[in-house]
């Protein structure tokens, strides 16, 4: 208790200096946490992917569709337990700023492959029965204030015209990382319209979602599927859902590396600031430490005082930084909307924040502690006023 009181008094002996140092530390730890959370949110889709799902797309590019008649051939592949399909729609809701993922799907088979979408039985049935029906995730519904029965108009970009859907259900994610920012509707509804207006674009799908029960054999099953369409006009590339998601993340790899680098640079900067503070503190107390040594205190006691004071300030600043991160992350998530659907500060991120604070406190005290442990008593006592 005596040591703690001594550390507390020493830490706030110069209140302005300590306060400014702590403010810098809080800002740095908070910024570090937010940047790490952004990186985590970018990979949320990969982490939320299922090992029991494969995605088959065009081997040329995702922009090239696949024929609908591939369905039965994929179903016949050994190891395949279920198949569905999806098409990116790319419609605009009111204004281009309201961006969110929209997919035309086959309702029954698609929802069977995504059990993490928790939907009421009556809403699921209503969606399957209504060709013009749609379902959305809870986060997207809350953003626009939608409720079951509302009409949702989308202005087509890939598929021209205005498309109006009736909201039949709102799903909740089974986990925090489950995407709740999508809108799903009937592929058949869109396809029927294409048959009338643009028959050459009808009966094509964007990707096939393949369900398997043997994840260790995912690579073998993927090869079997691709072998079915080798040398055809529309060859396929089948991969795990996580690999499919990673292909999108890799497009932003340079940005993510830059964000990660900045997060660590912030910690290095505050470490230098903290080290300067502790060096000034040690220099001002040179005579005090010399007196302690003259009274018989071991150099280790001086080292403990400096490290203790530095860690005390760092821990206080780190805790305050973590507490500030939570409301700021919530505000950032609201501002980001559907761009980062799973933006939450994770426990590992909080752990990294506190670890960063401890590292800053330890490194900042290392040099002044070493110097003060080696001071000459006579030289130190000359500084006594």
Gap between the Cα atoms of 196 and 193, Å rounded:
5
Gap between the Cα atoms of 224 and 212, Å rounded:
13
246-252 long-range CB contacts below 8 Å, 24 or more apart?
A: 246/46, 248/45, 249/42, 249/43, 249/45, 249/46, 252/42
Domain ranges of the chain: 2-44+253-381, 60-234
Which CA distances in Å does 180 have to 269, 271, 302, 338? 38, 39, 55, 9
- β partners of residue 162: 155
Least trusted range by pLDDT, from 5-9, 160-164, 262-266: 5-9
If you ran DSSP here, which 8-state letter would residue 68 be given? T
Residue 299 burial (CB < 10 Å; 0-12/13-18/19+)? middle
Cα angle vertex 50, ends 47, 51, to 5°?
110
Gap between the Cα atoms of 107 and 188, Å rounded:
10
If you ran DSSP here, which 8-state letter would residue 97 be given? T
- Burial 337-370, CB ≥16 within 10 A → b, else e: bbebbbbbbbeebbebbbebbeebbebbbbebbe
Model pTM?
A: 0.75
Q: What is the pLDDT of residues 78-128, one digit of tens each?
A: 999 999 999 999 899 988 888 889 999 999 999 999 999 999 999 999 999
Q: What is the pLDDT of residues 167-215, one digit of tens each?
A: 999 999 888 778 888 999 999 999 998 888 888 888 999 999 999 988 8
């Amino acid at each position: 208790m005596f040591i703690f009181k001594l550390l507390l008094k020493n830490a706030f002996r110069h209140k302005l200096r300590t306060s400014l140092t702590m403010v810098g530390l809080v800002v740095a730890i908070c910024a570090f946490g937010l940047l790490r959370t952004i990186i985590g949110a970018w990979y949320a889709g990969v982490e939320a992917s299922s090992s029991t799902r494969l995605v088959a797309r065009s081997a040329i590019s995702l922009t090239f569709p696949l024929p609908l008649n591939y369905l039965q051939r994929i179903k016949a592949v050994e190891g395949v337990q279920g198949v569905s399909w999806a098409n990116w729609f790319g419609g605009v809701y009111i204004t281009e700023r309201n961006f969110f993922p929209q997919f035309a799907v086959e309702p029954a088979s698609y929802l069977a492959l995504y059990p993490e979408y928790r939907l009421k039985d009556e809403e699921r049935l209503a969606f399957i029965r209504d060709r013009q029906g749609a379902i959305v995730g809870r986060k997207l519904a809350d953003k626009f204030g939608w409720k079951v029965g509302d009409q949702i108009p989308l202005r087509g970009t890939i598929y021209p015209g205005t498309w109006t859907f009736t909201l039949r259900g709102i799903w909740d994610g089974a986990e925090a990382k489950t995407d709740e920012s999508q809108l799903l509707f009937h592929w058949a509804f869109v396809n029927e319209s294409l048959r009338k207006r643009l028959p050459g674009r009808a009966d094509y799908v964007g990707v096939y979602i393949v369900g398997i029960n043997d994840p260790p054999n995912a690579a073998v099953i993927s090869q079997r599927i691709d072998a079915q369409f080798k040398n055809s006009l529309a060859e396929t590339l089948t991969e795990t859902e996580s690999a499919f998601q990673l292909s999108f993340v890799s497009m932003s790899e340079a940005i993510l590396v830059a964000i990660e680098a900045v997060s660590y640079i912030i910690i290095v900067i505050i470490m230098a600031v903290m080290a300067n503070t502790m060096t000034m503190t040690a220099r001002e107390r040179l005579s005090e430490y010399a007196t302690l040594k003259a009274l018989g205190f071991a150099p280790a006691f001086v080292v403990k005082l400096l490290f203790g004071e530095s860690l005390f300030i760092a821990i206080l600043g780190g805790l305050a930084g973590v507490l500030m991160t939570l409301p700021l992350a919530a505000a950032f998530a609201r501002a980001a909307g559907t761009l980062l659907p799973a933006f939450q500060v994770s426990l590992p991120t909080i752990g990294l924040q506190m670890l960063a604070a401890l590292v800053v406190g330890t490194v900042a005290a290392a040099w002044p502690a070493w110097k003060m442990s080696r001071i000459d008593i006579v030289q130190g006592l000359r500084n006594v006023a």
